[in-house]
Structure 1
Amino acid sequence: MKQKTITISLLMLLVSVFSFAQRQNTQERPGPITRPMIVEIAKNTYFINEFGMNAMYVLVGDKSALVIDTGTGFCDFKGIIEKLTDLPYKVVLTHGHPDHAGGINQFETVYMNLADTAMATHIPYEQKAEYGDIMRRMSIGYKDVWGYIKEDVITSTELPEIKPIEDEQVFDLGNRKVTAYYAPGHSPGCTAFLDPTTKILFSGDAANGNVGTRLPVSQTLRYLVRLKELQPAYDRMFTGHISYAGTIDVYSQKLEVLDDIIEAFRSILRGDAEVKEVQNHLFPEMKNTVAVYGQASVGFDPGNLWEEGKEHKIY
């Protein structure tokens, strides 16, 4: 009888410990989705949703593949790529911000606009972890869907070889050619990638509805107008945040958003913009000056409207 009592007590203790561990795990990983979601948005074209933080893409051709952006670094992205294709691949960046370049440590070579090299190669672990915490706290769309913790962030400090992307450079994947187009604004090195095979523009953060620029407004506008002029070579636009924060839905950004962004920047240069002060969606204690038009709310520096040495022309 005594042995039976001891056995039951041990069993109850084990159950208690297991339950406590489960509670702890639930608290640390509040959401049920504990790995990035992969969606095939076109034939041989994959969108990887890194816990709502950002969007990465894998485009597979007959001879090679192209990887667009590396995410924040909360997952084994290299392993994901190599499950999607056994072909050789190149990794390119739309820009150098932590949520798009934070995972570069997993790769030997990365291509990018060299204007963003400094920011892309100086992203500390703490900055990646902080971004993950910020995104967890944002109440956008579905709440508490993602189950990641800061300990998931890759801590490697190894840096890849950085190779330049030139404006209008073509990446030939074999029966599929993807062209890079500079689109500075959101960052000095912003680059979009046009894939005529699927008629998709992978725009990174260059043309989001809430895009902001610290570059001259006229310069940002000029490159956005060029992206617009690339239509009808594309009829869908997948951005760097197509599934944002708690949202698990996967839609291309409406092309009309780009029209509204362009008109918002034009209104700034004309002097008739609807200007507001709004809270920064990532850092609520900060405020941004934005111009509002239709579906767009674009940030800008009121003291930096025109490119130095260029004609004051509204494109």
Structure 2
Amino acid sequence: MHDTPYVLSPAVAEAIRGGRPVVALESTIITHGMPWPSNLEMAVKVEEIITQEGAVPATIAVVDGVLRIGLERPTLEALAQTKDAMKVSRADLAFAVATGRTGATTVAATMIAAALAGISVFATGGIGGVHRGAEQSFDISADLEEFARTPVIVVSAGAKAILDLKKTLEVLETKGVPVVAFGSDEFPSFWSRSSGLPAPLRLDDAVDVASFQNARARLGLTGGMLVANPVPEASAIDNQTIEAWIATALADAEAAGISHKEVTPFLLSRMFELSGGKTLETNIALVESNARLAARIARALAQS
């Protein structure tokens, strides 16, 4: 047994001890979001970007029952090729640990692990949210509940476009979660810069995001913050094109009887097929952009 419920990599442990900026990274995007070897290439590149920006990357996963915060390269490579990794959230994170399983962390589980280790900033692709048709299925991601309780800044390209974005924003508002669009008056839509929905809040500088978070802490306001960073314009896909692909992918998922945790991986895979690989290229670009911004926010927090 370990003294703590997690194990830090040497680089992450040293950074935390020294008060240096650290950026958490999820692992579901590696095991369930992208195919091999693109997933490993993406994971390595994202860690390099964070390092170049003056922060320390901390990819998080459960490996053989051990919650690891910061993965050494051999472990990262093995995870990228794992076929049967669990997709763990708040409900089953401890199950994966207790049963010695390997599990990739979702946004919710990554937030939990980051907060345990004292990491304040986390970069991802897009958060989970309210699924389309949730009024019948009640399919709502645990990510939204985690934002309400766990004090981590999450930088993403908004919520995944396959979701009901309007309902997702309504739930976040109800739970008191600040949603900040970075450099935009509009809430981004993952692969697209536009969603047609106004951003609840806007900030244009990483230092301002850090200042906002510090003000929340002084006021005793708990929970996380979503920083919605639009995908770089050169890599964005037109929203109308995306919506047509989503309609087809949703119909295919229903016909195949896909449900629960398998919905998002299925839809992302189907979108890749329908777009001829374009969605994967855009996904990689937005993750890299989010990692860069997250590192700058982590630096600003460390210096404040």
TM-score, with length taken from structure 2:
0.31
Higher strand share: 1
Higher-RCO chain (CA-CA 8 Å, sequence separation at least 6): 2
